[in-house]
């Protein structure tokens, strides 16, 4: 599968050279709508997420949000695949950023900044955009197949963004912060390593403690970032919140970060691209139920999901 992806990504970039952006997005939406029908496993994961990230949404609204998730994901892929042949000006034109002073104020402290975000919107494009503006930025990404890693690294580094392996990049991240640079990490999904169970969207999730540990050890302020795709597909809105001073324990700072990420995810539930289960509350509930209740609940869920047929750090979409 990795070798196929390693071929498809550059092939997609080649084809997009000959398509206007708007036409490419229309085609991407057609593919996304097919995935709504065919990718039942992802659809179920999205529905489980929406039950927590958009708890007041009714059944029809959740169907709309599920479809929007697939469409936003496809549209973001279009822009990412176009990065190698975009000019710096074209990249900058796709993003609006009115809160730049918050990041600049954090960097003026001279200790660098730990940018923390969730798997919401166009994460890769955020780093590419900041690098195009001249910010020295390193992103910590999860370890994947070496062939795919080389391709992703080439795309991400096209404007000067530095890519650090999650497993082997800790030293590079600390050095970047010591130089007063930016280190960007995603903190709403655990791959492995040190972790903490936190409240998240009215349930419980396990998240990494690495971002808080980086900040506390170096004194670098934490800046929460979000980059959401506009509903009309015209581009992205980037928000950098006022810096959080690194204080307290690793656990306390991790929980504070989780509160901020929850706000982002609930603001843009249709752009949270986490396509696997990870909610601890449901697991605890299922463990406490008698077998008969578990069976009945499973049948009920299967019946509810039968209308959708079946297919199966900064780095949320890499592993998919």
- Integer Cα distance of 273 and 118 in angstroms: 9
Record the tokens describing residue 189, joined without a space.
């999904």
What backbone phi and psi angles, to 5 degrees, belong to 45?
-65, -40
CB neighbour class for 5 (10 Å; exposed up to 12, middle 13-18, buried from 19)? middle
Q: Which pLDDT tens digits describe the chain residue by residue (320 residues)?
A: 667 887 889 999 999 999 999 999 999 999 999 999 999 999 999 999 999 999 999 999 999 999 999 999 999 999 999 999 999 999 999 999 999 999 999 999 999 999 999 999 999 999 999 999 999 999 988 777 778 888 888 888 888 999 988 777 889 999 999 999 999 999 998 877 789 999 999 999 999 999 999 999 999 999 999 999 999 999 999 999 999 999 999 999 999 999 999 999 999 999 999 988 789 986 544 544 443 343 334 433 433 333 322 222 454 444 44
Q: What residues form DSSP beta bridges with 114? A: 183, 222
pTM: 0.86
């Amino acid at each position: 599968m990795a070798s196929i992806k390693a071929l498809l990504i550059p092939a997609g970039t080649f084809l997009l050279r000959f398509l206007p952006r708007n036409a490419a997005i229309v085609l991407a939406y057609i593919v996304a709508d097919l995935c709504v029908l065919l990718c039942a496993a992802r659809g179920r994961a999205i529905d489980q997420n929406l039950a927590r990230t958009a708890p007041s949404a009714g059944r029809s609204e959740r169907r709309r949000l599920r479809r929007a998730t697939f469409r936003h994901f496809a549209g973001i892929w279009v822009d990412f695949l176009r990065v190698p042949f975009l000019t710096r000006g074209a990249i900058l034109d796709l993003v609006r950023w009115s809160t730049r002073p918050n990041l600049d104020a954090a960097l003026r402290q001279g200790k660098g900044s730990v940018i923390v975000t969730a798997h919401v919107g166009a994460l890769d494009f955020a780093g590419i955009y900041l690098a195009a503006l001249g910010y020295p930025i390193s992103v910590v990404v999860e370890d994947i197949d070496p062939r795919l890693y080389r391709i992703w690294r080439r795309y991400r580094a096209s404007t000067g963004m530095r890519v650090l392996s999650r497993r082997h990049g800790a030293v590079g991240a600390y050095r970047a912060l010591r130089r007063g640079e930016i280190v960007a990490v995603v903190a709403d999904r655990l791959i492995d390593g040190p972790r903490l169970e936190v409240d998240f969207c009215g349930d419980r999730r396990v998240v990494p403690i690495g971002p808080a540990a980086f900040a506390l050890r170096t004194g670098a302020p934490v800046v929460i970032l979000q980059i959401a795709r506009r509903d009309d597909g015209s581009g992205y809105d980037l928000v950098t919140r006022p810096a959080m001073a690194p204080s307290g324990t690793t656990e306390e700072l991790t929980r504070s970060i989780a509160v901020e990420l929850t706000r982002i995810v609930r603001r843009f539930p249709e752009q949270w691209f986490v396509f696997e289960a990870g909610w601890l509350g449901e697991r605890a509930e299922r463990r406490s139920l008698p077998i008969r209740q578990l069976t009945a609940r499973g049948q009920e869920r299967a019946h509810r999901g039968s209308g959708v047929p079946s297919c199966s750090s900064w780095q949320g979409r890499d592993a998919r």
